[in-house]
């Protein structure tokens, strides 16, 4: 879904990418810094129940995932290793976000529910199923199939959980976060099944 906005994102972040290249910053360095920023902000703010400001801090670093790709294209430094590094570190950042939420539901700052254990388990399921979703596609492609289908691409999942976490805090509506977790759990499950099905069809 977010691919439809790629042109807009490129227009916004290309000047930043050019400036970083002029300063001698490499795309891989931006990838690493972005992942460290996302992970540290998620694991610092979320367990303390600071979901709103934590989301804003995380989002600032999430944009690096767009900037490093633009930098690589502009500089001609696209490489298999760069793609591997980017994908691998993306999963680390995603895991940190959900780990922060798991710690939030396990701690004393959770609000809006008498069943924090339920949502701790749900956040854990979203973490695991998100990883399986990515693995299913990677494994399919390594076997010569394509599996780029599904209703819950990584970017969509990331936007939904961050948007819901931030608004749930700022608007004092924790139900937004709870609902987003249920939606993500269902969408990730459907996406995994879709990818299994499409590979089965290609395998004959």
List pLDDT tens digits, range 149-193. 888 888 889 999 999 999 999 999 999 999 999 999 999 999 999
What local confidence, expressed as pLDDT, does residue 83 receive?
85
Q: Provide the domain limits for residue 45.
A: 2-203
Q: Which alpha helices (DSSP H) does the chain contain, by range?
A: 6-22, 27-45, 51-62, 64-75, 80-106, 116-142, 154-170, 175-203
Task: Indicate which CATH number applies to the domain containing 109.
Answer: 1.20.120.1760
pLDDT of residue 6: 66
Amino acid 1: pLDDT: 47
- Stretches where the chain sits below pLDDT 70 are 1-6
Active-site position among 28, 90, 94, 169: 90
| Cα 157–chain centre separation | 6
Give the HSE-up count for residue 190: Cα atoms under 13 Å, Cβ half-sphere.
11
The pTM (predicted TM-score) of the whole model is: 0.91
Q: What is the pLDDT of residue 98?
A: 97
Catalytic (active site) residue 90: yes
Domain count, the chain: 1
């Amino acid at each position: 879904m977010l691919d439809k906005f790629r042109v807009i994102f490129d227009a916004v972040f290309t000047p930043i990418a050019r400036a970083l290249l002029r300063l001698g910053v490499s795309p891989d360095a931006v990838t690493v810094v972005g992942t460290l920023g996302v992970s540290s902000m998620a694991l610092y703010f979320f367990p303390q129940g600071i979901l709103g400001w934590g989301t804003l801090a995380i989002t600032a670093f999430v944009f690096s995932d767009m900037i490093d790709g633009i930098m690589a294209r502009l500089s001609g430094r696209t490489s298999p290793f760069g793609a591997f590094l980017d994908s691998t570190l993306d999963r680390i950042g995603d895991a940190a976000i959900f780990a922060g939420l798991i710690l939030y539901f396990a701690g004393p700052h959770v609000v809006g529910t008498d069943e924090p254990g339920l949502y701790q388990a749900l956040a854990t399921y979203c973490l695991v199923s998100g990883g399986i979703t990515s693995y299913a596609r990677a494994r399919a492609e390594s076997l010569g199939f394509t599996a780029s289908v599904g209703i819950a691409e990584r970017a969509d999942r990331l936007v939904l959980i961050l948007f819901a976490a931030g608004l749930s805090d700022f608007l004092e509506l924790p139900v937004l976060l709870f609902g987003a977790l249920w939606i993500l759990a269902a969408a990730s499950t459907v996406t995994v099944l879709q990818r299994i099905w499409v590979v089965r069809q290609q395998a004959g």
